């Protein structure tokens, strides 16, 4: 008896220990970023490093929005940078629109390819080939197109690219969820008198909404953090947050404080989105309940 209880106890301890180690590995960089964002310049890369700043300051956050504001001695360093507002607005507009468009197109394409074999059996694979090359391979031809269309440094250019590049993910991820809905459920609804579209919206969509939420979150994060294309296709007007982060570099070095502060601020929408969607990630999978 004694030894069994002892073993249960050590098991629990080991499980907790493993959990803590894993969490530490994943959380440490985040905590570090949070820590730096509240540090004054002299502490950014001070050695030995301190987790809790000696002098806690919010000046890194202030200069994000007011570059040149002399507070904490950071402002002068980043006075060349734009206020973060524009990048934030751009990201807030571009990313949700592109994500929604990708999700809608991807879902409909997935539905058409799974239920009607639209475009032939290999169409989904064909769509996937857009992800088989690094995005930069597409950048030069797209640059030519967008220049001709006058779309360089516009939100529209980013929306088009982000939508296009993530459709493959939307299509492939939602396909699996659609296949999980028995065909007979849709046929039953049709015999009840529903049109195809009605079946899609009242039967299939509610049954895959958990999957759509997961796909949406995934695509949202991809787009929210995209740097390469945004860096190439924008210069001033349409820059996004990841591009803005790269602007906190001066002749004398990197301005880790504002970078970290922006990282923290930029994480908020993703965390909020994840939190909202979380409920749907867990539920939504109502399949397998159709028959015992």
Partner 1 sequence: MASVRVEGLRKAFGDTEALRGISFEVRDGEFFSLLGPPGAGKTTTLRIIAGLESPDEGRVWLGEEIVDRVHPKDRDVAMVFEDLALYPHWSAFDNIAHPLKLRKVPLGEIEERVRAIAGMLKIDHLLDRRPGTFSGGERRRVAIGRALVRRPRVLLLDQPLSDLDAKIRQEMAGELKRLQAETGQTMIYATHDYEEAVSMADRIMVIHQGQEEQTGAPQALYREPDSSFVAAFIGSPAMNFVPCKVERAGGELVLQHRAFTLSLAGEGLLSLPDEVLLGIRPEHIRIEAARTPGALPAEVDIVQVLGEEQVLDLRLEDGTTLKAIVVGGVELKAGDPLFIRLERERAFLFDQVSGRRILGPGL
Per CB under 8 A, residues contacting partner 1 are 182, 184-185, 187-195, 198, 203, 206-207, 286-287, 289-292
Query: What is the closest distance, in whole angstroms, from the C-beta atom of residue 186 to partner 1 in the complex?
Result: 8
The answer to whether the beta carbons of residues 180 and 210 sit under 8 Å apart is no
Strand pairing category for 249-250 and 253-254: antiparallel
Query: What is the closest distance, in whole angstroms, from the C-beta atom of residue 207 to partner 1 in the complex?
Result: 6
In the chain, the largest separation of any two C-alpha atoms, in whole Å, equals 79
Query: What is the closest distance, in whole angstroms, from the C-beta atom of residue 209 to partner 1 in the complex?
Result: 9
Query: What is the closest distance, in whole angstroms, from the C-beta atom of residue 183 to partner 1 in the complex?
Result: 9
Nearer to partner 1, 180 or 269 (CB): 180
Please report, for residues 39, 101, 112, 180, 187, the alpha-carbon distance to residue 115 in angstroms, rounded to integers and kept in the order given. Answer: 56, 21, 5, 12, 11
DSSP 253: E
Collapse the DSSP code of 285 into the 3-class scheme (helix H, G, I; strand E, B; otherwise coil) and give the result: coil
Nearer to partner 1, 257 or 284 (CB): 284
User: 249 pairs with which residues across the strands?
Assistant: 254
Query: What is the closest distance, in whole angstroms, from the C-beta atom of residue 224 to partner 1 in the complex?
Result: 30
284: left (phi over 0), alpha (psi -120 to 50) or beta: left
Nearer to partner 1, 205 or 222 (CB): 205
Query: What is the closest distance, in whole angstroms, from the C-beta atom of residue 194 to partner 1 in the complex?
Result: 6
Is the bond into 48 cis (omega within 30 degrees of 0)?
A: yes
Which residue in this structure is represented by tokens 């169409």? 123
Nearer to partner 1, 198 or 254 (CB): 198
76 CB-near residues (< 8 Å, 6+ apart) = 68, 70
Half-sphere exposure of 44 (CA within 13 A, CB side): 18
Nearer to partner 1, 2 or 292 (CB): 292
Nearer to partner 1, 18 or 290 (CB): 290
């Amino acid at each position: 008896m004694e030894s069994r209880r002892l073993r249960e106890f050590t098991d629990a301890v080991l499980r907790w220990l493993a959990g803590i180690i894993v969490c530490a590995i994943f959380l440490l960089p985040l905590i570090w970023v949070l820590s730096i964002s509240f540090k004054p310049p002299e502490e950014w890369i001070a050695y030995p490093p301190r987790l809790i700043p000696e002098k806690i300051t919010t000046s890194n956050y202030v200069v994000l929005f007011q570059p040149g504001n002399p507070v904490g001695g950071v402002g002068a360093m980043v006075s060349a940078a734009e206020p973060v507002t524009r990048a934030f607005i751009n990201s807030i507009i571009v990313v949700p629109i592109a994500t929604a468009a990708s999700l809608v197109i991807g879902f409909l394409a997935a539905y058409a390819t799974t239920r009607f074999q639209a475009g032939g059996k290999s169409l989904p694979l064909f769509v996937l080939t857009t992800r088989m090359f690094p995005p930069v391979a597409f950048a030069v031809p797209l640059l030519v197109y967008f220049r001709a269309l006058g779309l360089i440094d516009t939100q529209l250019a980013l929306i088009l690219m982000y939508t296009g590049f993530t459709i493959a993910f939307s299509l492939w991820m939602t396909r699996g969820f659609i296949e999980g809905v028995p065909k007979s459920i849709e046929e039953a609804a049709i015999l009840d008198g529903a049109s195809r579209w009605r079946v899609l919206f009242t039967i299939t969509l509610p049954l895959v909404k958990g999957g759509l939420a997961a796909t949406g979150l995934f695509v949202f994060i991809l787009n929210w953090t995209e740097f390469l294309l945004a860096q190439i296709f924008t210069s001033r007007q349409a820059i996004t947050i990841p591009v803005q982060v790269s602007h906190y570099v001066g002749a004398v070095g990197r301005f880790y404080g504002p970078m970290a502060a922006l990282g923290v601020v930029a994480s908020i929408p993703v965390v909020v989105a994840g939190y909202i969607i979380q409920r749907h990630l867990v539920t939504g999978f109502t399949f397998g309940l159709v028959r015992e």
